[in-house]
Amino acid sequence: MGFACNNNCQFCVVGDEKRRTHDMVTADVKASIDAAREGGVTTLVFTGGEPTIRKDLVELVTHAGGLGFQDIILISNGRMLSYPDYLRDLVRAGLTTVSMSLPSHHPKLYEHLTRSPGGWRHLMKAFDNVAEHPLTVCTITCITKPAVADLPDTARFLVKQQERFHRYFGELIFVHPAGNALANWRDIVPRMSTASPLVHAALDIAEEADIILNVEAIPLCHMQGYESHIIELAMAPEWEMREPGITGLDQNQARRERNKHKEPSCRSCRYDAVCEGPWAGYVGLFGFEEFHPISGEPVTDPATLLAVARPGGA
């Protein structure tokens, strides 16, 4: 719906140029919602930027709720959700799922990465408020250089937090070197070979606690034995993005063709048919030397990897 935000995260893929664009007006957002529902879409995601700073968000969720979407999702930094009456209005309007950014479980590091003084207090209050409603809750942890070593402890923090939510799952997403993240890449982007074993350790902790924790933007050659946690393998086959000046963007196609990168050597990997490769921006910074083809029987159907038993019955 737009790129305006009340944070200025160092790891954000949105840069200053996009922030200067005008957000979609209410009528255009409603028209997009109508078109999606008429096209058979059953899941609607409000994202940004930060959707909760729009004065019309409750109105938009109400509009979507009246059209019969099965799942209405809000992706947010959580700050406005620290106000209980505002969250209550969103839930009454039809909100079903809340995804909140948690780049670190250390308050000072969280506020350093998000550049939001007082933001940690807002997020923890948002956690308290969300726990009062029958919502599905997701935390999104962007994997960054300052916080990568803490990933196992972050998983332990999430294990404790999730106990109070109606339904919970978490996501670990390797930082995309674009926008702010590219401008700050020396301080923000970790090496994949450093991050992947720490991601594995975090997944082990989550699995032992029987909670769902999944991973995005780490190629399968770095996820052997953890393939069932890879988000890209289970993404909806049709995913349309609408933002200011752009309608009908096939997000899956854009991600694979514009934002990810594979080398000819990938063709000899057993995962080639189902792996998207790392972020192209990452390869531009560090090259492709960390990624190696894996021998074995070729995998052509993602379902064979997702069929591995996962926590929570997913």
Mean pLDDT for back-to-back runs of 10 residues, the chain (314 residues):
92 78 90 92 93 97 96 97 98 98 98 97 98 97 98 98 95 96 97 98 97 96 96 77 64 79 97 96 98 96 73 36
Q: What is d(CA 121, CA 79) in angstroms, rounded to the nearest whole number?
A: 9
pLDDT at 258: 85
Say which residue the tokens 């726990």 belong to: 131
- The single-letter code of the amino acid at 164 is R
pTM (2 d.p.)? 0.92
Task: Report the pLDDT value the prediction gives residue 243, as an integer from 0 to 100.
Answer: 63
Residue 310: per-residue pLDDT = 41
Q: Which residues of 207-218 are buried (b: 16+ CB within 10 A; e: fewer)?
A: bebebbbbbbbb
Q: Are strands 71-76 and 246-250 parallel, antiparallel or unpaired?
A: unpaired
Residue 256 is predicted with a pLDDT of 75
Strand partners, 167: 136
| Domains delineated in the chain | 16-250 (3.20.20.70)
